[in-house]
Amino acid sequence: MRTLNWEDGAIVAIDQCLLPHQETVLRLRTVEELIAAIQRLAIRGAPALGVAGALGVALSARLRSRDGRLDETAVRADAELLASARPTAVNLRWGVGQALAVLSEGPEAVLAQALRVMEADDRVNRQAASDAADLITGLCPDRPLRLLTHCNAGALATAGTRGTALGAVFELAERGRIEYVIVDETRPLLQGARLTSWELARAGIPHRLAVDSAAASLMRRGLVDCVVVGADRITANGDVANKIGTYGLAVSAAHHGIPMVVVAPESTVDEDLADGALIEVEEREADEVRRVLGTPVAPEDTPAFNPAFDVTPAALITAVVTEARIMGPRVVTAGRAG
């Protein structure tokens, strides 16, 4: 299963807003359609957004080319709109930048670059997931493990077939090291309930769904060996922006002496930001809180606070694992050669 692909001049994507009840494929033929899909979270997940950004520039370059002439100014304008579609996840702008780097070489070169970004995504995420599985094995008891996840960092959050944090879960399951996975529902849009549970069920991995507010209690009862999550931006000092609720998990995990491991590609690391205080946190519309899957659960005019992400300080994270390195206050390795 690939969340994203390129087919016959269109970006093909699974509509994640409709899962798990409908498996619908979108064919996005304009940059405007792609931006709309990203903003309504039909396409989501930091690595997937990076690939979508690169493919979106390729799409624009094709559409903005006439009689052998490429309107680079128009492509760059499309690219800026695309890169700004979701401000917190750095991968989106990174992917756009990767494709723009070869814009002067023409539409075919841009498409080739975007396809290289897509193909690399699966490779780097598999490496990060494997390294994270090794790390978790060393941090946790020598028995089948009880892991807790938040949001969705599986194949659906990437352009590959494994994912980042959930990729580490799949790797551990193949090694016979999983007793079960606790899946946070992840309010307000239920990416854990709808997407992570769907992926784990398809993989045949034992799991149990839990409301977000149960996590601390489950840790206190000794039912969690490790928390493993993805990331949307990692700053130079190791602070991590991830789905809202991650910070609370980190505080609870630290209090209970439970490892907290973040798995993400290097493209999620933003060396230009010194720390998490500089991250722009996306604020989404109030109806996402006032409703659950379209059903009202609060009076229509109730004001709501709906940040899509929060920032977890590096001091609360045991380790951040990318395909190139492992970093954290307690676990540090040198960068991987090559």
**Per-residue H/E/C for the chain:** CCCEEEECCEEEEECCCCCCCCCCEEEECCHHHHHHHHHCCCCCCHHHHHHHHHHHHHHHHHHCEECCEECHHHHHHHHHHHHCCCCCCHHHHHHHHHHHCCHHHCHHHHHHHHHHHHHHHHHHHHHHHHHHHHHHHHHCCCCCEEEEECCCCEHHHCCCCCECHHHHHHHHHHCCCEEEEEEECCCCCCHHHHHHHHHHHHHCCCEEEECHHHHHHHHHCCCCCEEEECCCEEECCCCEEEECCHHHHHHHHHHCCCCEEEECCHHHEECCCCCHHHCCCCECCCHHHHEECCEECCCCCCCCCCECEEEECHHHCCEEECCCCEECCCCCCCCCCC
Q: Are 61 and 103 in contact (CB under 8 A)?
A: yes
Catalytic status, residue 232? yes
CA dist 317 → 187, 234, 250, 259 (Å): 22, 12, 7, 8
Please tell me which residue in 78, 184, 212, 232 is annotated as part of the active site.
232
Residue from 255, 257, 253 nearest 229 by CA: 253
Residues catalogued as catalytic = 232
